[in-house]
Amino acid sequence: MSYIANTESQRREMLKVCGVRSIHDLFADIPERLRPKSFSLPQGKSEFEAFAHFEKLAGQNYAHLTCFVGGGFYDHFIPAAVDALASRSEFYTAYTPYQPELSQGTLQAIYEYQTGICRLTGLDVANASLYDGGTALYEACQMAIHATGRRKVIMDGGVNPIYRKMIRSYTANLSIEFVETPVTHGLKASKESNDFDSVTGQSDRKRLFEALDDRTAAVLLQNPNFFGVIDDHSDIVKKAHDLGIIAIQSVYPVALSLLKTPAEQGFDIATGEGQSLGIPLSFGGPYLGFMAAKKALVRKMPGRIAARTVDMSGRSGFVLSLQAREQHIRREKATSNICTNEALCALRAHLYLSLLGKEGLKTVAQLCFDKAHYAKERIKAIPYVKVMESSPTFNEFTVKLPIDAGECVGRMVELGFAAGFPLGRYYEGMENYLLVAVTEKRTKYEIGRLAEALEAVVCQ
């Protein structure tokens, strides 16, 4: 399938203007010995053939399983208008808005998106987007390191394990000390009794307060945490601030319509994954890293920021601002290297928040909470199965099974369910524990069927 418009005859005219005989002359600077040793690709397909090929591949994926898997990425309802508006090509075939007069649509949308993130988190300023929740958390870490001049970071064990791995990978070549604190009281005792009931609770204050010191740049917490548990970290933030430490919280944006905000808890920076705001799961991406912070930190924020201003006639307009910190100006002294970010995903998030609105988002969150609670009740009733209830949860909770969780999930797939995420994958010793997520899309019927299937599997 070729998208080239020019005909052979037009090319001949153009070659004349260039003063060469053939197109090959235009590549004369590339010596023969540097030409490709091989360039063997399949023959091009027509649009029709290509689509058939991909329908077949798509059909090989089990996207139809009733989804109870979360882990930070959720199967939420996406209103049709999000797709309809985000697929307007004036939005998606546009470039980064460096020529603001031609990009007022994109720029105003980014400004409004930033505002939405600020209103959700309660903080003062937000940026235009980062790649995903993990890189956003890493960038927040870097902000804290630059702002304090210190090189130690405390990460709570309830922070998404994938994010913790990412942060360590990014900083491997830099001399930063990491301390991880568990989400438990007396892990030792738990190991002896093999009972992680207290593991899936809230952040361990004792261990955190021991770790926080005046060499610490940042403390990273998550709410709800990876186990779905809700917390109020205000006490930890206060202790951090007493020691000059920057407090960072990774959050679930849908939950924020109901939960105590990072701002209310005193956090300096909030980051998170915006996939839940109108972005399809799409096997891992593209996603959306959002970041909001207190006003004093705005100049240390990575990424693009849209600002409102006026033109020469006094008309209101928008531009990308604070670019002096960015890579194309500061180069090796830039605060971050990010260039292309996730603008279209931010647009989708803003569309989602606008379409659902104040009440709509609260309703989604409430449905998630209520349905998750119902699921807990149904699963609790299954013999030999225990639901971790030592702390309140939002829409995700931990279940202890009498068998290996991975094995259980494997058998549940055959019954049509993606029943949950086996925690043993990221937490040693938790092989029998399953993380179950429920969103507003799961019906009472589906939840009931999940419980019945689970009972059948564990009681075999």
Partner 1 sequence: MPTPTSLKYSKTHEWVKVEGTNASVGITGHAQEALGDITFVELPKVGADVKKDNACCVIESVKAASDINAPLSGKVSEVNESLETAPESVNSDPYGAGWIFKLSNVNSSDAAGLMDAKAYDAFLESDQ
Partner 2 sequence: MSIIFEKSVPDRKGVTLPACDVPKTRQIPEIYRRKKDASLCELSELDVVRHFTALSRKNYGVDTNFYPLGSCTMKYNPKITEKIAALEGFSQLHPLLPQLRRGGMLTQGALAVLYELETLLCEILGMDAFTVHPMAGAHGELTGMMLIAAYHRDKGSRKTEILIPDEAHGTNPSSAAIAGFTVRSVPTNTDTGMLDLVALESMIGEQTAGIMMTNPNTLGLFNFQIEKIAALAHQYDAQLYYDGANLNAILGKFRPGDADFDVVHVNLHKTFATPHGGGGPGAGPVGVKKHLEPFLPISRITTRPDNTYALNYDFPKSIGYIAPFYGNFAVCLRAYAYILMQGGQGLIEVSENAVLNANYIMHSLKNDFHVPYLKTCMHECVVSAKNQAEHDIHAIDIAKALIDEGFHPPTVYFPLIVKEAMMIEPTETESKETLDAFIGAMKRIAIAAKETPQALRAAPRTTPVGRLDETKAARDMDVCFLG
Query: Does residue 162 bind partner 2 (CB under 8 A)?
Result: yes
Which of partner 1, partner 2, none is residue 188 near (CB under 5 to 8 Å by kind)? none
Please give the distance of CA 360 from its chain centroid, rounded to a whole number: 21
Out of 180, 185, 191, 406, point to the residue binding partner 2 (CB under 8 A): 406
Per-residue DSSP letter, 33: G
Which of partner 1, partner 2, none is residue 313 near (CB under 5 to 8 Å by kind)? partner 2
**CB neighbour class for 137 (10 Å; exposed up to 12, middle 13-18, buried from 19):** buried
Q: What are phi and psi of 420, to 5 degrees?
A: 160, -175
Closer to partner 2 by CB, 106 or 184: give it: 106
Closer to partner 2 by CB, 304 or 400: give it: 304
Query: Does residue 266 bind partner 2 (CB under 8 A)?
Result: no
**Binding segment for partner 2 among 187-195, 212-220, 239-247, 326-334 (CB under 8 A)?**
326-334
DSSP H/E element including 216:
strand 216-223
Which of partner 1, partner 2, none is residue 32 near (CB under 5 to 8 Å by kind)? none
Please give the distance of CA 282 from its chain centroid, rounded to a whole number: 13
Which of partner 2, partner 1, none is residue 193 near (CB under 5 to 8 Å by kind)? none
Query: Does residue 53 bind partner 2 (CB under 8 A)?
Result: yes
> Minimum distance between the CB of residue 303 and partner 1, rounded to whole angstroms?
16
> Minimum distance between the CB of residue 140 and partner 1, rounded to whole angstroms?
20
Measured between alpha carbons, how far is 215 from 244 in angstroms, rounded to an integer?
A: 9
Closer to partner 2 by CB, 63 or 243: give it: 63
At which residue do the structure tokens 């890189």 appear?
Answer: 135
**Binding segment for partner 2 among 203-211, 212-220, 238-246, 260-268 (CB under 8 A)?**
260-268
Residues in region 85-104 near partner 2 by CB under 8 A:
85, 87-97, 99-104
CB 459 within 8 A of CB 384: yes
Classify strands 386-387 and 396-400 as parallel, antiparallel or unpaired.
Answer: antiparallel
Instruction: Tokens for 36, please give them.
Output: 């490709």
Please give the distance of CA 222 from its chain centroid, rounded to a whole number: 13
Measured between alpha carbons, how far is 243 from 144 in angstroms, rounded to an integer?
A: 13
Q: Which residues of 30-57 are buried (b: 16+ CB within 10 A; e: fewer)?
A: eeeeeeeeeeeeeeeeeeeeeeeeeeee
Map residues 219-248 to x or -, x wherever contact with partner 2 holds by CB under 8 A.
-----------xxx----------------
Residues in region 169-188 near partner 2 by CB under 8 A:
169-170, 172-174
Which of partner 2, partner 1, none is residue 296 near (CB under 5 to 8 Å by kind)? none
Which of partner 2, partner 1, none is residue 325 near (CB under 5 to 8 Å by kind)? partner 1
Closer to partner 2 by CB, 152 or 378: give it: 378
At which residue do the structure tokens 């204050």 appear?
Answer: 205
Map residues 376-405 to x or -, x wherever contact with partner 2 holds by CB under 8 A.
-x--------------x-x-----------
Instruction: Return the amino acid letter for 374.
Output: Y
Map residues 183-212 to x or -, x wherever contact with partner 2 holds by CB under 8 A.
------------------------------
Residues in region 420-449 near partner 2 by CB under 8 A:
421-422, 425, 440, 443-444, 447
Closer to partner 2 by CB, 266 or 317: give it: 317
Q: What are phi and psi of 82, to 5 degrees?
A: -65, -50
Measured between alpha carbons, how far is 97 from 307 in angstroms, rounded to an integer?
A: 12
Measured between alpha carbons, how far is 409 from 452 in angstroms, rounded to an integer?
A: 14
Q: Hey, how many other C-beta atoms are within 10 angstroms of the C-beta on 336?
A: 20
CB 176 within 8 A of CB 199: no
Per-residue DSSP letter, 245: P
Closer to partner 1 by CB, 20 or 324: give it: 324
Closer to partner 1 by CB, 323 or 363: give it: 323
Closer to partner 2 by CB, 135 or 184: give it: 135
CB 355 within 8 A of CB 81: yes
Query: Does residue 32 bind partner 2 (CB under 8 A)?
Result: no
Query: Does residue 153 bind partner 2 (CB under 8 A)?
Result: no
Per-residue DSSP letter, 11: H
Measured between alpha carbons, how far is 178 from 164 in angstroms, rounded to an integer?
A: 10
Instruction: Tokens for 431, please give them.
Output: 């092989």
Instruction: Tokens for 131, please give them.
Output: 């790649």
Q: Which residues bind partner 1 (CB under 8 A)?
A: 299, 323-325, 329-330, 333
Which of partner 1, partner 2, none is residue 328 near (CB under 5 to 8 Å by kind)? partner 2
Map residues 278-317 to x or -, x wherever contact with partner 2 holds by CB under 8 A.
--xxxxxxxx----------x-----xxxxxxxxxx-xxx
Closer to partner 1 by CB, 50 or 324: give it: 324
Query: Does residue 8 bind partner 2 (CB under 8 A)?
Result: no
Closer to partner 1 by CB, 49 or 214: give it: 214
Identify which of 412, 415, 394 has the alpha carbon closest to the alpha carbon of residue 403.
412
